[in-house]
Structure 1
Amino acid sequence: MKQFRFHAVASVLLAAAMALTGCSGGGDAAKPSEPGSTPSGSQGGGTKQVTLSMHSWRVEDTEGYAKIIKAFEAENPNIKIDFKPFKATEYNTILNTALQSDSGPDILQLRPYAAGTALAGAGYLEPLDSLPGITNFPKDVLAGATGKDGKVYGVPLSLSTTQFYYNKKIFEQNGLKEPKSWDELIATAKTLKEKGIVPISFGAKEGWLLSLSHGVIAPASLKDGYIDKLMKGESDLKSPEFLKSVQRMQELIPYFPENYVGLELNDMRTLFATEKTAMFINGSFELEGIKKLNPDLQLDIFPMPTDDGKSVITTWVDGSYAVNAKSKHKQEALKFMEFMTTKKFAEMFANELKMISAMPGVPLQDPLLNKMAELSQSSSTPYLMIVHFSEGNPTTKKTLENSLQGMYLNKLTPEQVADEVQKSAATWFAPFKK
């Protein structure tokens, strides 16, 4: 399997011409605070405070951001940050509605790659190329928040990985080891099921979890060089390799919980953390949530074993923070952005939120997070649907999610899923139009 190299995909990351993707729901966005009397950018004593609104899709990070924001406010007493997270599946709709009505937050969390930079193309974001500290991030990492115009619009947050979490106690009690091939993974799941243990915590209610899980499973069947051929149009998404990846998503069904089609992330996380399931396919960003639910859980991870005897961990630049171009407190918002480019922020972010910082060289206190970070350097592969196929209307990523939900409802075959995904990509992906 070809290792993920951010520079190898930078050119395709910039082709963002779509609205934010894949989220349902709605609600009222928080209104930015009323304008203060602080002159733009002034930090002197005796001036009134400015309160900046800051929106995120990570409710799980509220406690960690409280500590980070407190550290910023201690150094900038005239600026207060009102951090307001929303449910991930509702965030896009809330944010779009607010931006379109000129009531968006001063600081907003951007979805990665095309989904986020589309907001820059619509004129909603302030360019950050001249922001002090932005050069602390490699160009390949900044590519995840770079618009079609070549300008940077977000301060990158983290490098996310996606893999199998597993319960070491359950594995040891049943004489099981980390699987090193697809056949071993299936054999492990069968053994667990025979002993009355639900093998994999999985739910199909939220579409984004399906493309994420596919991002883990797919590399098992994608041969070395396949992605390069895909990017050149020498292969497509109806290929035997891609079809096999969908078939394997179907092959795992017997090892999911009962009524898995109605389960969402909170259900899946709880099942795994309370030791009712043995494995859990999810991202590095779930580590903190799992540990909060059960600090005593004997937890480990393994990367996806491939058909050629290797193993890979799926990775991507995951999100960034941007400044609303229509913010009434733009200079103060940029001051917070500058703080986010510092090593102090990067270290607090990594260790309070248990995530891999997008800034190189940031030490990680959590050994399991370190393991993920090391694998991301040695054995990584791109999250195919986010890095390469997050455009279209609906996006090809969303098409895969909808089609997989159809498959799990017994309405589509794997062949039909692959066909739908290919048809979606062919509407916008230039190599498929040759």
Structure 2
Amino acid sequence: MNGMDDDSLFAANVSRPLADRMRPHSLDEIVGQDHLLGEGAPLRRMIDSGRLASFILWGPPGCGKTTLARIMATKTQLHFVALSAVFSGIADLRKAFDEAKKRRVYGEGTLLFIDEIHRFNRAQQDGFLPYVENGTVVLVGATTENPSFELNSALLSRCKVFILNALDAEALGRIVTRAETLLGRPLPVTPEARAGLIELADGDGRYLINLLESVYDLTPAGVTLDAASLLKLVQQRAPVYDKDREGHYNLISAVHKSLRGSDTDAALYWAARMLEGGEDPLYLLRRLTRFAMEDVSLADPQALPMALAAWDAYERLGSPEGDLAIAELVIYLGSAPKSNSAYAAWGKAREAAKAHGSLMPPPHILNAPTKLMEEAGYGKGYVYDHDTADGFSGQNYFPEKMDRRKFYDPPERGFEREIRKRLAYWERLRREKENHSGNQA
């Protein structure tokens, strides 16, 4: 007898965790994934057809990936084998493939579920390919990380990727209701605490069920918890954030794009999320300094000094005092006028430098420290701008064999409005002087 069998004589005497008792047994019981499992949705059609192809389930923790794989195996009458990439190695995979080949001889298919598949290295991922291609197993891989970055292209080309959503408030509310029905009594919390519990779960159904179990087990009979009492009971959940993986890049992208969109409040939220998740504040300050140069730039010339001052203040004060310097910088950058004109101009100038990299400067702007260089025409005809009436000579400073180019085009925003006026003024003087020279000629 298998001592781990749920139907054994001993299992009935063991108090099963609430998460196990609440595990869905049909597709209709899975919440929050209607885009994949609703009537006519792509994954639902594949399952209903009974012909599963290998695929990857990509989604956050607690959204139902493992449960979905189990139900699929049952519904399609495939033998279900589950492995975790965290605890399994080559020997486990080889055993699973060998047993799948034996079952195939007798006409039984195998659904091989690999949790955290992204944790297998490239060579291990390559080991799946022949068994997937010849149909020995239907591979269902689950990952919380972006498959584009974490899975090799050969495996991805053979597996469709289905994206599961974090559970929204409605889906989490349905889980609470299901727990109340299963246990035969309402959750002993106020409506405000109930909403707080759902918010605390942060889209993770498994975590929510664990919270529910704690509330039911630890709340004395006849007591109803308010929001403050609930937080004391379940404590505060650590933010879901891994600064070495995709979440890191998603959140810094959210900070950057919120600032670029002048949504200061959203930028503060994402920056706070990063710091609460354990991000290095100096990394955030470095990226904010880059933003000051690239996206605010000369529209507000004080943005870069502000960024450097915030960086310096944080290094001097540390946390938590220095955190305010980060907040002030985020607010300043979010509310500043935006311009990427310097960034764009520099890119165009570098392209021109690559295309015309062998051209000499025009002779009139070359110094002539020797008699030979003077005789060769170096410096001949140069006009000292300060000696002119306008303080502007209008001479050409591009190579003689290169047409004049316009790289920098400041917008009518912030301080660059003034720069644009200056450039327009100098351009007008340049044309006037060119016309005057042409008339004299």
The structure that has the greater radius of gyration is 2
Q: TM > 0.5 between the two?
A: no
Relative to its length, the structure with more helix (as a share) is 2
Which one scores higher on RCO, CA 8 angstroms, separation ≥ 6? 1
Q: TM-score, normalised by structure 2?
A: 0.19
Q: TM-score, normalised by structure 1?
A: 0.20
